[in-house]
Structure 1
Amino acid sequence: MDSNHLIIHINVKTGLQDNYLKFEDGQIILGIKSLPLKNKANLEVIKILSKLFRVDDVDVIIIKGMSNNIKTIKIIDPKFIPNEIL
């Protein structure tokens, strides 16, 4: 974590029956129900991560990978950080 933000890299799997979040081999893997159409998947990623890090949706910014399943995300002033990320 740098100053008041955290940069994470996630692998997103779309179009699933249920949402899930897992930490595997040092990677964050996020499975979501939405398909990558009309930005719906990115919006769902932001919503899930905002709940995980206990921040507002506007504090979760996709800085790389808007149209890719590998994403770099900036979390501004996270209120909670899972131990698997530390």
Structure 2
Amino acid sequence: MRSPSLVLQVPEHIRLTVSNPERLWKVSPVNCREVLKWDGHACQYCGSTKKLTLDHVIPKSKGGLHSWDNVVTACEPCNLKKGDKLLLV
């Protein structure tokens, strides 16, 4: 690193020599508040911000899991329209 009056030598790699079990990355649980925050408080199908619910992209009845990869925010009309069907792309 350089500045007008100083040159600092910075190592290319920094190695962690002590590990802490509490330092492991934890994925937050899938819940309504977190999914709404992740999706920006908007329906992922039409963009509406009213009457929001959670929707399983692959319905649980069709083998879908309650996981971050399968849950999105949807407004009530879109969720009812999609119902228990798979998305057709």
- TM class by shorter chain equals under 0.3
TM-score by length of 2: 0.26
Please identify which structure carries the higher strand content.
1
* Larger Cα-atom Rg: 2
